[in-house]
Chains A and B, each alone.
Chain A
Amino acid sequence: SYVLTQPPSVSVAPGQTARLTCEGDTIERKSVHWCQQKPGQAPILVVYDDSGRPSGIPERFSGSNSGNTATLTISRVEAGDEADYYCQIWDNSVPSVVFGGGTKLTVL
């Protein structure tokens, strides 16, 4: 089955740029989605189809996908961005939804 690998944690200072990665075999061939989960809350979609941004999501959130790595980039990081971030794909071969293990973003 398809595996998505995310670093367990990323730390960044306020105002800086956070880059959260999601690795998978030739992931560039898949549509990658990202959700944000704050403590005690349900996840919300922040990027879809590699780089799309749902209504209401700040332009500071962007995505890219190339080779074996998809990246969620958060510019001008704010304290309120502190959360767990999960990447997600649809694996046609099984078929199955696959989530990465999640990355905890800490704002220093």
Chain B
Amino acid sequence: QVQLQESGPRLVKPSETLSLTCAVSGDSIDNGYYWGWIRQPPGKGLEWIGSLYHSRTTHSNPSLASRVTISADRSNRQLSLRLTSVTAADTAVYYCARGLTPIDYWGQGTLVTVSS
């Protein structure tokens, strides 16, 4: 069974970089699926951030693309997210997920708050 677990700092200061890691178990990052990140601001809907395929091909939300880096460590089965120059608007629950169309497995999510 595929399991995804997000980890990283829960509090980030404005203008700094948000960095999260997702540990993947029950599957391989190189098995032919996209792996990516989705976020959800408190009380709001889902927003796709971006996805990675075979550790090479990346698609990102155009509204975030200039600030987003998604990468994978195949040997450690980890997916990473970096979001630069954060503001309060980046406060959200961040989910790691498998798939693109559809997104078929989700991590439990981690709340990241941007505040000084």
**Which residues of A are at the interface with B, using a C-beta cutoff of 8 A?**
1, 31, 33, 35, 41-45, 48-49, 54, 86, 88-90, 94-102
B45 within 8 A of A: yes
* A-contact 0/1 string along B45-86, CB 8 Å cutoff: 111100100000001011000000000000000000000000
Residues of B within 8 A of A95 (CB): 59
CB pairs A–B below 8 angstroms (28 shown): A1-B62, A31-B101, A31-B102, A33-B101, A33-B102, A41-B108, A42-B95, A42-B107, A43-B46, A43-B95, A43-B106, A45-B102, A45-B104, A45-B105, A48-B104, A49-B102, A88-B102, A88-B103, A89-B101, A90-B100, A96-B59, A96-B62, A97-B38, A97-B51, A97-B59, A97-B101, A99-B45, A99-B46
Give the contact-size bracket for chain B: 20 to 34
Q: How far does the alpha carbon of A68 sit from the alpha carbon of B104 in the complex, in Å?
A: 24
Q: How far does the alpha carbon of A48 sit from the alpha carbon of B109 in the complex, in Å?
A: 22
Give the distance to chain B from A62, nearest Cβ to Cβ, in Å: 16
Give the total number of A-B pairs whose CB atoms are below 8 A apart.
59
Q: How far does the alpha carbon of A1 sit from the alpha carbon of B105 in the complex, in Å?
A: 25
Residues of A within 8 A of B61 (CB): 96-97
Flag if A54 contacts B104 (CB, 8 Å).
yes
Residues of B within 8 A of A35 (CB): 103, 106
A-B pairs with the 8 shortest C-beta distances?
A: A33-B102, A90-B101, A97-B48, A48-B102, A42-B106, A99-B46, A102-B45, A45-B104
Q: Which chain A residue shows the least CB distance to B99?
A: A45
Give the distance to chain B from A52, nearest Cβ to Cβ, in Å: 9
Q: How far does the alpha carbon of A11 sit from the alpha carbon of B45 in the complex, in Å?
A: 19
Q: Which chain A residue shows the least CB distance to B6?
A: A42
Flag if A86 contacts B45 (CB, 8 Å).
yes
Give the distance to chain B from A67, nearest Cβ to Cβ, in Å: 20
Flag if B101 contacts A86 (CB, 8 Å).
no
Q: How far does the alpha carbon of A43 sit from the alpha carbon of B109 in the complex, in Å?
A: 10
Flag if A86 contacts B59 (CB, 8 Å).
no
Flag if B108 contacts A42 (CB, 8 Å).
yes
Give the distance to chain B from A15, nearest Cβ to Cβ, in Å: 29
